[in-house]
Structure 1
Amino acid sequence: PRPGWQRFWAHAGHEVRRGSVSLQPIAENIWLQHFPLSVLGTQHGRNVTIIRLSSGKVVVHSMAPFTADDVEGIRALGPTEWLVEAMLLHDTYAREGRAVFPGVSFLGPPGFEPVVGFPVSPLSPAPDEWAGELLVFPLEGAPKLEEQVMLHVPSRTLIVADLVFNFDPHEKGWDRFFHRYLAGFKRYPGMSRIFRLFVKDKDRFLQSLRPIIAADFDRLVVGHGTLIETGAKQKLVEALRDAGFAVD
């Protein structure tokens, strides 16, 4: 089990509006669902990415409080073959997701299985059936996070968990105060102060970032916040530089 403060941060104050969430097509064979999520009174939201491979099989990236209608909508896209959580602190809805997709292979980062208490297969290396379509880039140097970044090659879409967030730059009140002064976001997209503190080996972290930045992507799906439709590579480079991780 994780230390109490980590569990608190991952789960504190999360509030969810029940009800089905529409699937938003963002490119061919890739869809986005945005679920409400409140953390310590701030509006974080939670994004779920659904990818259909050329085989017709479906990958669901990030779990959420799926309703029966949500599950039906995802299953209508094709046979759901893999459920993915790409970071250790992203276990909030892992059990719920597994429960509504029984028998589906669950993939996660190293150390995820002891956290959730059910069988989890490695996300990296990626399944052979993903070859040429979905790539996985493990982030190193932050062993308590073990985030795994994914790239949907056909749509040039990068998918992250908490590497960067992309909230409303015009947010006000508690959201703005918390995100700017406590979480330490300088601009959006941006890396949180908490994520930066988890990076224990800067050189390894930078080395693992470089193949991601070298990859061919233009769109970025963040785990929390708004989709970046275009120009995502430069925005990600700037966010990393802001956080002290210059990769260019």
Structure 2
Amino acid sequence: MANVTYQPVDEPKAVAPEVWVVDSGPLRIAGMPIPVRMTVIRLPDGGLLLHSATQFSFELLRMLEALGAIRHLVAPNTVHWTYVREWQSHCPAAITWGAPGLRRRKAVAEAGLHIGRDLADGTTPEWQDVIETVVVHGRGIAEAALFHRPSGTLVLTDLVVNVEPRKLPLPVSVGARLVGAAAPHGRAPVYARAAFKAGGERAAAAAARLVALQPERVIFAHGRWFESNGAAELRRSLDWLLPG
């Protein structure tokens, strides 16, 4: 199912200064193939941050280590953490960051995933003020968005899904349209929107902060990401969550 993915897969592709994406997959959800993506950011100290790690391979590890030492592994929401455990085993010196509440999930404990730090709003000394974190809290779900200030790049996971129907098998493309996650006007699937919308004013305020960052580009885990006109595209995709 190579057409589902964004070729080439499982190798870093530069998208902005100090920012790369690694397209992978297809990831199968209930047997349905969808593309999946990791974002890599190189920090001022030369170390790498891996956001929403995709499938591990020694070849990918080699390519990433050519860019810098892997120092941070980010599990940014309550779903995108399953590949992090294997990256931990091969990058033992890296700090693993988890979305709020992730460490308390039974499946995480059973998988042996160790969360070293919890993601929180604002900046952290480890990321040397080049990354701002905005946490969007919903009901039973939380997602931590990272904004890389030097490149104007906002990194999300599932707050925006923009899969391209032409790249998917017919049943999946129909499903993507039905749940509102189909390009070119993709949003989070309707069930995810309901969970985040239940976060009320707090979630709406976080969405407004994301748009106020005025990102030049917006990267997310599934589908065609916003390579340009990021702020306007983000405002459209988050219109269901924004205040008013």
Task: Give yes or no for TM over 0.5.
Answer: yes
How far has the Cα of 1:238 moved from its partner?
Answer: 1.0
Query: Is 1:158 paired with 2:162?
Result: no
Equivalent pair of 2:132/2:148 in contact (CA under 8 Å): yes
Equivalent pair of 1:189/1:236 in contact (CA under 8 Å): no
Relative to its length, the structure with more strand (as a share) is 2
How far has the Cα of 1:186 moved from its partner?
Answer: 6.3
What TM-score, normalized by structure 2, do the two folds share? 0.85
Q: Which residue of 1 aligns with 2:24?
A: 35
Distance (Å, rounded) in 2 between the aligned partners of 1:218 and 1:161: 17
Q: Which runs of 4+ in 1 moved over 2 A?
A: 40-43, 169-172, 183-189, 244-248
Residue type at the aligned position of 2:88: R
How far has the Cα of 1:159 moved from its partner?
Answer: 0.4
Distance (Å, rounded) in 1 between the aligned partners of 2:193 and 2:93: 36
SS at match of 1:147: strand
Match of 1:123 among 119, 133, 147: 119
How far has the Cα of 1:217 moved from its partner?
Answer: 0.9
Equivalent pair of 1:60/1:82 in contact (CA under 8 Å): yes
Equivalent pair of 2:160/2:220 in contact (CA under 8 Å): yes
1:1-248 map, 5 Å: 21-36=10-25, 37-115=27-105, 116-117=108-109, 118-120=113-115, 121-125=117-121, 126-140=123-137, 142-171=138-167, 173-181=170-178, 183-185=179-181, 187=183, 188-199=185-196, 200-241=198-239, 244-247=240-243
Distance (Å, rounded) in 1 between the aligned partners of 2:118 and 2:86: 19
Distance (Å, rounded) in 2 between the aligned partners of 1:204 and 1:123: 17
Residue type at the aligned position of 2:236: E
Residue type at the aligned position of 2:118: P
Residue type at the aligned position of 2:141: L
Give the gaps of 5 or more residues in structure 2.
Answer: none
Q: CA RMSD in A?
A: 2.2
How far has the Cα of 1:198 moved from its partner?
Answer: 0.9
- Tell me the number of residue pairs that the alignment of Structure 1 and Structure 2 aligns: 227
Distance (Å, rounded) in 1 between the aligned partners of 2:77 and 2:70: 21
